[in-house]
Amino acid sequence: MNPNGTFLVNEIEDIVLNGYQNSMNGSLISILEDIQDRYHFLPKDALILVSERLGIPLSQTYSIATFYNAFSLVPKGKHLVSVCLGTACHVRGGGAILDKIRRELDLDSRETTEDFQFTVEEVRCLGCCSLSPVVRVDNDTYAHMTQARVPGILKKYQREKEALDE
């Protein structure tokens, strides 16, 4: 995330100009999806800018940004770790796996790591109870999870960052 806002403004301008000028709600959602993908949340200044550029009241942009679960108004990590605590996963140790993940990532009471690499959330049933306990990282589903597998799985995503940093 850029510290001074200029880079962000340029990027948001690009997203808006990139074929969305004739705005309707569908276009607004597409723009917000693009911003969410890029920054892992919807910065307030970006919502103001999008509203201005599309000629849409800010209240309407906010109502869409807060209606859909896919959007977040607070910064999220690059990787979303969803730990299932639905009934099947809970009885098979989902809570202990969540605790292990939180310890590994040094989260204390936070949901997102300080380096914004991971956000950890609890979910109620990922729709694959026969695989419980289940953890999902981004689009990858990990079945029959154990606490012992947690460090290796998290490392895989940390390695991706290290590879990109090199």
Q: In the complex, which residue's CB is closest to ligand FES?
A: 86
Q: Does 126 bind ligand FES (CB under 6 A)?
A: yes
Question: Pairing between strand 135-137 and 79-84?
Answer: antiparallel
Among 75, 128, 141, 142, binds ligand FES (CB under 6 A): 128
Among 15, 28, 42, 89, binds ligand FES (CB under 6 A): 89
Q: Does 88 bind ligand FES (CB under 6 A)?
A: yes
Contact 104, 69 (CB under 8 A): no
Q: Does 125 bind ligand FES (CB under 6 A)?
A: yes
Contact 106, 88 (CB under 8 A): no
Contact 44, 9 (CB under 8 A): no
Q: Does 87 bind ligand FES (CB under 6 A)?
A: yes
CA distance 42 to 40: 7
| Residues forming the site for ligand FES (CB under 6 A) | 84, 86-89, 125-126, 128-129, 132, 134
